[in-house]
Amino acid sequence: MTILTTQRCFFNMKNLILFVFIFSTQVFSQVTERSFEALVRNDNKKPVIQEVTLTDLISNDSFDGEYFKIVKGKSDEAIRFDAESELTFRAATAYYHLTVARNYFIHKVKSDYVKNLKKIVVRIELTNQFSELGHFANDKLDPQYNNALTIPAGEGLSSRGVKPWGNEIWFRPSKKIHIRDLKTNNLANREFSVLMGSFRNQIHMQSLQRFLAGAVIALTQDGAPSPLSTENLIRTVGSSIIMEVGYQFLDPITKLFSRKWYWLDTAVVPEIIYHEYSHVALSDHLVLSHSTAIIEGMADVFAGQIANSPKLAMHIKRYNTYNGKNAERKQDYMIQFEMGEYANTDFVFGMLWEIKKILGEEKGEQFMFELRKKLTTSSNIRVQLIEGILQTCDEVCTVPFLDKLKILKSLNLKGL
Ligand SMILES: [Zn+2]
């Protein structure tokens, strides 16, 4: 009898423990959503501040989710919900659009790689340069602003106390530069849109940041670090077209469009967030070792796709150097495009966007995603990209023979 009672009691305890366990996981899993104000585009694709729901959160009090953890600077701790509002606004906006991008890759192009990706640490307000050995370069070494980048995972350096890290996305703080400080001679004291137009129409052969970097060198004379140094500009937030659309963005804090100031608050620009996440999503084939015209062009294509914005599409159609209607300086292929410093010109972006148009929206999207399998980070445009495009067409196109003819015709027109 006694034994039986004890046994029954034991079973009851077990059931109780099981019950508590199930109950607690249910309570735990209920805390996955929370509303925040974030910057989104409205139906007219204008930037507006709106309440959004963040999903898959695993914390009650910080931006720590199942797939993303948003931290400030070099910290390992997620930003708390009760941190200052400028910070939580950026964290919520980045978290929200990263989730949009992740869902796109899982549900639209069915990426198993993205589905199984480990949680990504996302750093905002980080000025340090990336160091392959040390994770973060020394604080004093040329701090970075107005930019974003995606870094590859690293093994760390236990002898120096550097822990291993996974793929990460870094958003730089924005820093305002007055137009008068830009050494652009004839453009000094004009509105920034004039500078943009000048960049787009006359220069257009280099990345916007490189263009600005050349313009801003004089700033270093007082000993202050140049906000846009000529070094370390290899990885930028996308081609000039993506940046220009990002630049034409409402400042969420001052609620002003900039006229005479340049800055780019990358953590709140949807297209830039999509561009950076696309680098991670495509990294099963396009590893994140360095930037090339192809790797940037591919990330831009998916940023444009996820944004699904007619305004952006029109902008691409008008101004891309490959075949833009209103691009004053349309550009044939040049051997220089193969080099890293031209990674952010929009030639490859315009080229891939045109191929997508030739194949039709649905097919084109699937095509671009399959194309990554034929490419690596060291592929060049003239040989591997073109071969990759034709091979992908054999596998994906509805009528490969005809579609390849159309593609080749377009490429030949551009000197390829
Ligand atoms: Zn990029």
- For the chain, what are the domain ranges? 30-171
Are residues 227 and 182 in contact, defined by beta-carbon separation less than 8 angstroms?
A: no
Token representation of residue 70: 């948003």
Class of 30-171 per CATH?
alpha beta
DSSP state of 128: P
> What's the CA-to-centroid distance between 63 and ligand 1, angstroms?
24
> What's the CA-to-centroid distance between 14 and ligand 1, angstroms?
53
pTM as predicted: 0.84
d(C-alpha 143, C-alpha 127), whole Å: 5
The residues whose Cβ lies within 5 A of ligand 1, an ion, are 296, 299
Q: Mean per-residue pLDDT for 54-58?
A: 97
d(C-alpha 195, C-alpha 186), whole Å: 10
Is residue 415 predicted with pLDDT exceeding 80?
yes
> What's the CA-to-centroid distance between 296 and ligand 1, angstroms?
5
Q: Residue for token digits 């294509």? A: 301
> What's the CA-to-centroid distance between 237 and ligand 1, angstroms?
5
Q: Where does the pLDDT of residue 344 fall: very low under 50, low under 70, confident under 90, or very high at 90 and above? A: low
Is residue 272 predicted with pLDDT exceeding 60?
yes
> What's the CA-to-centroid distance between 398 and ligand 1, angstroms?
31
Q: Mean per-residue pLDDT for 130-153?
A: 88
Is residue 135 predicted with pLDDT exceeding 80?
yes
> What's the CA-to-centroid distance between 291 and ligand 1, angstroms?
7
> What's the CA-to-centroid distance between 235 and ligand 1, angstroms?
6
Q: Angle formed by the axes of helices 310-319 and 293-307, to 10°? A: 140
pLDDT at 102: 98
> What's the CA-to-centroid distance between 276 and ligand 1, angstroms?
6
